[in-house]
Amino acid sequence: MESMTTDALGPAIRRIRDEVHGVLGGLSEAPAEELESFLGAVADADRVFVHGAGRSGLALRMVAMRLMHLGLDVHVVGETTAPAIRPGDLLLTASGSGTTGGIVRAAQTAVSVGARVAAITTAAASPLAGLAHAVIVVPAAEKLDRSGAASAQYAGSLFEQSVVLLGDALFHALWQRSGATADEIWPRHANLE
């Protein structure tokens, strides 16, 4: 790898800042009913199961933690302590392509037992979006898009960054609705670190 000059990191930070700003700016202008449907799906769920692969899955784990801080009953799909999904539950997914096999199969299972699905994806016409009751379409590059048109970043980086920030926005909106103070939710923060 070539030696980096001292001015290489600054432009990279600005590029990522600008791309994230553009995506989130577009999402904040999405139809209110779409955003409210997504928020309502999480708020109304008996239990929330999060499922994503790779970096998208890691981003959803961050979302799961914050939802747990609010007092929601949250599970990460694939963990040994995750129970069976059932009617009244929500499967919260993230897949840039909306075609990731394990995530689509999990969504099919959720729907077949009467649970609901919420999806974050770049592909509105994907199988995952077709199964979802609530969808947020992120205008970012798909993992295999190396054209640089939607993002100069590598693979699905912009999508994964957006999942984290959407999760934080989701948490913040639900927290504000709850009326709980930071001191009231703090006791749910991990103390076995």
Q: What is the CATH number of the domain that holds 103?
A: 3.40.50.10490
Q: Is residue 185 part of a domain?
A: no
Query: pLDDT means per 10 residues in the chain (193 residues)?
Result: 68 93 88 92 98 96 97 97 98 96 98 98 96 94 70 88 96 96 94 87
At residue 30, the pLDDT reads 83
At residue 155, the pLDDT reads 82
Q: Is residue 15 part of a domain?
A: no
- The gap between the terminal CA atoms of the chain, to the nearest Å, is 36
Domain boundaries, position 164: 30-178
Q: Is residue 24 part of a domain?
A: no
At residue 76, the pLDDT reads 98
At residue 6, the pLDDT reads 61
Q: Is residue 183 part of a domain?
A: no
Q: CA-based Rg of the chain, rounded to a whole angstrom?
A: 17
Q: Is residue 3 part of a domain?
A: no
Could you tell me the pTM of the whole model?
A: 0.92
Tell me the C-alpha distance between 89 and 169, whole Å: 21
At residue 7, the pLDDT reads 78
Contact 134, 118 (CB under 8 A): yes
Q: Is residue 118 part of a domain?
A: yes
At residue 15, the pLDDT reads 92
**Number of separate domains in the chain:** 1
Tell me the C-alpha distance between 138 and 50, whole Å: 18
Q: Indicate which residues carry an active-site annotation.
A: 160
Q: Is residue 21 part of a domain?
A: no
Spatial CA neighbour of 170 closest among 76, 98, 75, 66: 66
Q: Is residue 51 part of a domain?
A: yes
